[in-house]
A and B are shown apart, each in its own frame.
Chain A
């Protein structure tokens, strides 16, 4: 009886030892992976900060103005160039614009010409 009990206990110790060891092993592995991901997140956050700063610096209003003037020929918006949406609505032709476009005319250009 005692021998049998002892044998079972020894077996339990061995099995639980093995389970414990393998659990610890997987835990360590997971921890390593967590640390790796956290480092990765930190790096990503750093590069996000850097890219945000770069974006903000590249979209500086004075830089955009210079580029718009140089490459697009844009100038300051005049007050009279601003119109209400209802005013445009009155000048839209009755036929659908897509159809007119398919016919080869330039309906939106025509609206702008009419407004001027």
Chain B
């Protein structure tokens, strides 16, 4: 059928008209569809050009680990950072001539072992590390050998520019940059989320983690304690500097220490952090706690006296004084003479229950947990008898982490606000908000007076650096050897604060088994070794910490006298 045939019949043409119309409609419909499609594409094109959508696609992350944040000290000095290094690897299946490869590799990288290398290259595995973290020159040398199947990948390596200065507090990471000690482990334990929260999304910029440590103070502490260990032939030593208003640890050292940059991290037990992971009987230093307790309960006042003429006998035990005075002592005298008898009597007056309650209040019954993962539980007497109270009063029979001892004394001196020490930067308001009030402000005031008195005329006088108003308490504890107190193995310690008119910094110095020297006239007690060391440390760190020296007329007189004797020498 053709069109002309239809046209010939007018009746049929009339029928044809709507069909033609139907065809046109179809074309229009298709046109409309196309138009709509073009409009949609055009519209979207304009939309995307004008308002580009953010890229939300998943990307391949090139680093297989989360970037570790840098660690800086309180003044922004870099303590730990990541640098790029290369690691050499081999794909044994691609190596054509193993003998030649081994020969070339051992010639270029001297510390590769030929036997070990052969073992690695003859396995059926498709991947083997040859050497991790090589220097750029070594990497280039190996690359230039052009051995098929030997290549390198860029890795990050953790370095500690301050070396051993930060050892225990900063800690270190393993080869896979996983934190395994110190604040590095803390960063990991906070979870990947915390580590990443310090990192900016732009990947190469990470917000550093700021510690409360002041590396200059840390260095001074290490230097002086090292010298003291040498001089008094001690087996170990340690020190802590704390800001007593915020509980921030400005420096914490434990000697012998280590260099976190060294490759093989097989450290001995001696090298562990004794300030937090070891417990020690701090001896007379603990008397500060007993005094605070007796003063706070109102049992003792500064004008009260205690009879120290005879040894205190409890059951079969006798408590004696090291520097026996054999007379009645006033409370300040009990403190400055470090009388065991007087202090024990004071604790007995408070009573066993009261004593335990107070020790619990200042947290000495519980493990102190700071950001450092290494922490030890206090060692308490198994049965809390009358004798236990009497000896615990002067620090015998119960052992705590030195850091915990420092934190408690800091709390007693700062007005009675006990706060958990921290290794991260913290301001005074935050610290105050979380602090626990343990003693009355007046008790703290009296304790400050006793500390200062002990430094001006008591056992801690060798730490009294003129001008910096030092106050302190000494402690010499006999060490327990095979379950008995040893007579010649001692732990000498000093705990003090400065400037005493408004204490701001607390210092703890500890020497393990110092020996007597001719210079100390045969003494090996704290006053002859730990105390002068503390004096030297304060002389060095006080100007760094911005403590202004103030001289009274008596101070100036003393200084003039000292100068004269120096000139004579």
Contact = CB atoms under 8 A, between A and B. Distances in A.
Interface of A: 42, 45-46, 49-50, 52-57, 59-62, 65, 76-80, 82, 84
B55 to A, nearest CB: 15
A78 B161 contact: no
A80 B467 contact: yes
Nearest to B223: A62
B84 A46 contact: yes
Given A60-B219, A62-B223, A65-B223, A82 B549 contact: yes
B539 A76 contact: yes
Contacts of B539: 76-79
Contact of B549 (A54, A56, A60, A79): A79
Contacts, number: 74
Nearest to B550: A79
B540 interface: yes
A42 B202 CA distance: 11
A49 B81 contact: yes
What's the interface size class on B, roughly? 20 to 34
B386 interface: no
Contacts of A84: 548
A53 B83 contact: yes
B98 interface: no
A30 B466 CA distance: 69
B352 interface: no
Contact of A60 (B83, B165, B220, B465): B165
27 contacts: A49-B81, A49-B82, A50-B84, A53-B83, A53-B161, A54-B161, A57-B161, A57-B163, A60-B161, A60-B163, A60-B165, A60-B219, A61-B165, A61-B216, A62-B165, A62-B219, A62-B222, A65-B219, A77-B539, A77-B540, A77-B543, A79-B465, A79-B542, A79-B549, A82-B467, A82-B549, A84-B548
SS of B interface (majority): mixed
Given A62-B219, A80-B467, A45 B204 contact: yes
Given A57-B162, A80-B466, 9 more contacts: A53-B83, A54-B161, A55-B78, A56-B79, A59-B77, A61-B216, A62-B222, A76-B536, A82-B549
Interface in B216-272: 216, 218-220, 222-223
A71 to B, nearest CB: 18
Contacts of B218: 61
A54 B215 CA distance: 16
Given A61-B219, A79-B542, A46 B466 contact: no
B5 to A, nearest CB: 30
A65 B163 CA distance: 15
B528 interface: no
B551 interface: yes
Nearest to A78: B539
A60 B81 contact: no
B520 to A, nearest CB: 22
* Residue in B77, B78, B223 with the greatest tally of chain A CB atoms within 10 Å: B78
Contacts of B82: 49
List of 9 A-B pairs having minimum Cβ-Cβ separation, nearest first? A79-B467, A61-B219, A56-B161, A57-B161, A56-B78, A79-B549, A53-B161, A61-B216, A62-B219
